[in-house]
Amino acid sequence: MPNKEVTYSISELADEFDITPRTLRHYEELGLLTPRRRGNTRIYSHKDRFRLALTIRGKRLGFSLAEMRELFELYDADHRSRPQLHSMVAMIAEKRASLRQQQEDIERVLAELDAADIKARETLENMKHH
C-alpha cells in the first residue's frame, strides 16, 4: 500500500484556521506558503499547514509577516551557514526579549485590574451596609 501524502485544499485550510481563502493566497504571494498547483487548484502540503499554524501563532505574538518569512527562509537555508544561523539566533533573542517585556506589562496591568476590582467590590459592599 503506497504511502500517500496528506494534502489540503484552500477551503479546508481556510475553514480549519478560520481565515479567508484570500488570506491564504496573500500568504502564498509573500512566500510563506508554497502550495503545488494542479491547473488552477492549489494543493497544500502538511508543511504548508504547519507553516500556516506557525504564521497565525506568530502574528498573535507580534511577529510581522516579513519576520515570519525571514524565519522560514533562515530555517530552510543551509544550516551549516554561520551568518544565517547567527541571524536566526539574534532574531529569536530579540523577539524573546520583546515577548518577555509584553509579559511583564500584561502582569502589571492584571495586578492593577485586580487591585481596582477589589477596591470596587469593597466599596459596593460598604454601600450595602449604609
Range of the domain at 8: 1-62
Residues 102 and 125 occupy one common structural domain: yes
Instruction: Taking residues 53-59, report their average pLDDT.
Output: 91
Residues 53 and 27 occupy one common structural domain: yes
Q: Which of 8-12, 78-82, 107-111 has the lowest mean pLDDT?
A: 78-82
Residue 97 lies in a domain: yes
Residue 27 lies in a domain: yes
Residue 121 has pLDDT above 90, yes or no: yes
Residue 70 lies in a domain: no
Cα of 97 vs its chain's centroid, Å: 17
Residues 83 and 47 occupy one common structural domain: no
Radius of gyration over every alpha carbon of the chain, rounded to an integer in angstroms: 23
Are 69 and 77 spatial neighbours (Cβ–Cβ below 8 Å)? no
DSSP code of 18? Answer: T
pLDDT at 2: 55
Number of structural domains the chain divides into: 2
Neighbour-count burial for 92-112, b at 16+ CB within 10 Å, e otherwise: eeebeeeeeeeeeeeeeeeee
Q: Give, in order, the Cα–Cα distances in Å from 49 to each of 10, 14, 33, 52.
A: 10, 10, 8, 5
What pTM, to 2 d.p., does this model score? 0.66
Residue 90 lies in a domain: yes
CATH number at residue 11: 1.10.1660.10
Q: What confidence tens digit (pLDDT) does each residue in 17-50 have?
A: 999 999 999 999 999 999 999 998 999 999 999 9
The fraction of the chain above a pLDDT of 90, given in percent, is 60
Residues 44 and 82 occupy one common structural domain: no
Distance CA 99, CA 93 (A): 10
Residues 86 and 122 occupy one common structural domain: yes
pLDDT at 28: 95
Residues 50 and 83 occupy one common structural domain: no
Residue 72 lies in a domain: no
